[in-house]
Amino acid sequence: MAKLTAMEIRKRIAVVFLAVMVCLIVLLLRLGYLQLVQNRWYQQRALSQRMRPVPVDAKRGVIYDRNLQKLAVSVSADAVYAVPAEVEDPTATAQALAPLLNMTPAELEEKLTRKQATVWIARKLDTDTARAIRALDLPGIGLVERPQRYYPHGQLAAHVLGIAGIDNQGLEGLEFYYDEYLRGEPGRVIVERDAAGREIPDGVRRFVPPVDGVNLVLTIDYVIQYAAERELARAVKETGSDRGVFIAMDPKTGEILAMAVYPSFDPNNYSSYPTENRRNIAVVDQYEPGSTFKIVTASAALDLGVVTPTTG
């Protein structure tokens, strides 16, 4: 095997040195590009990975009668949530909360050990329960006020208004039909957390406020609606009927002034009533036209000249 000359060795060393220098220059240029040109983009990306939003519900729009009597409003109610990464002892925490929330320790522990940033534990808490939970001061357990739907007149116009669910979404009636407008846009509290999900002390904390829903004014008249429901209930009971419908309309405009269905339900506690009670049979059921069809017959007779407006 031929020996390399001193010149050839120097050439090879020079090539290796040059290759190493090129690699170092490329690496330095890349580092400079990342640190000087794209540093803001990577900072934002790293921050976004640490930010964990907690949703803040918007208040649903108020539903009024034609005289601006409130028929459906939003009120604040406490809700309890957990940040699983901050719960130090899920078993002990579950046992402490279980008797206050009427849940089993097993149910609560399952929620407290989920691989989620935030878990809702219970909503629509009464004042005493919320106060008791707050007094426990459990790590990883928090309370927040959330808007909940409330119907100040109970069963009044229940079939017209419909119901809203625990997540503030419309489920039936006008609450469902106009949900897109009533529900608003939710906001959020954005908190900076570490890789384990724990809140970083003095970290970034931002609040994006919710946008409340649009209000809705009906043609329903509160006074007429109340009288219609009262008289309908009386008539159904007196005749021994199973159910009944009462609709009052302004014949000049076609506006519905009252729409009552019996039996009814209380939308504040709709789950306590039979599902059948929530059917708005004034709208979903079919009925023969009866005397209302006389208008069509009379119009046809006038159009054909068979009769005149003065015909006796």
The DSSP element (H or E) to which 190 belongs, if any, is: strand 187-192
* Token pair listed for 160: 């017209």
DSSP string, 68-98: --EEEEEEEEEEEEE-GGG-S-HHHHHHHHH
Helix axis angle for 127-136 and 90-101, nearest 10°, is 160
Q: What is the mean pLDDT of residues 212-228?
A: 96
Bridge partners, 191 (sequence order): 52, 205
Q: What letter represents residue 125's amino acid?
A: L
User: Among 74, 85, 30, which residue's Cα sits nearest to residue 215?
Assistant: 74
Q: What is the mean pLDDT of the chain?
A: 86
pLDDT grade for 2, boundaries at 50, 70 and 90: low
Q: What is the mean pLDDT of residues 296-312?
A: 85
Bridge partners, 246 (sequence order): 260
DSSP 185: B
Would you name the residues annotated as active-site residues?
291
Could you give the CA distance from residue 168 to residue 135 in angstroms, rounded to a whole number? 27
Q: Starting from the edge strand earliest in sequence, which strands make up the sheet with 51-56, in order?
A: 51-56, 187-192, 205-208
Burial 269-306 (b: 16+ CB within 10 A, else e): ebeebeeebbebebeeeeeeeeeeeeeeeeeeeeeeee
Residue 200 has pLDDT above 90, yes or no: no
What are 57-101's pLDDT values in tens digits? 889 999 999 999 999 999 888 889 888 888 889 899 999 999 899
Q: How many residues does the chain have?
A: 312
What are 241-299's pLDDT values in tens digits? 999 999 999 989 999 999 999 999 999 999 899 999 999 999 988 888 888 788 888 88
Checking DSSP bridges between strand 256-262 and strand 244-249, what pairing results, if any? antiparallel
CB contact at 8 A, 220 and 186: no
Checking DSSP bridges between strand 70-82 and strand 119-125, what pairing results, if any? antiparallel
CB-neighbour burial class of residue 160 (10 A; exposed 0-12, middle 13-18, buried 19+): buried
- For 5, list phi and psi in degrees, rounded to 5: -80, 165
pTM of the model as a whole: 0.69
Percent of the chain residues past pLDDT 70, beyond the cut = 88
Helices (H), the chain: 6-32, 39-50, 90-101, 105-112, 127-136, 158-161, 173-177, 179-182, 222-239, 281-284, 294-304
Q: Domain spans of the chain? A: 1-38, 222-304
What is the SS3 assignment for 48?
Answer: helix
> How many other C-beta atoms lie within 10 A of the C-beta of residue 153?
19
Residue 198 has pLDDT above 80, yes or no: no
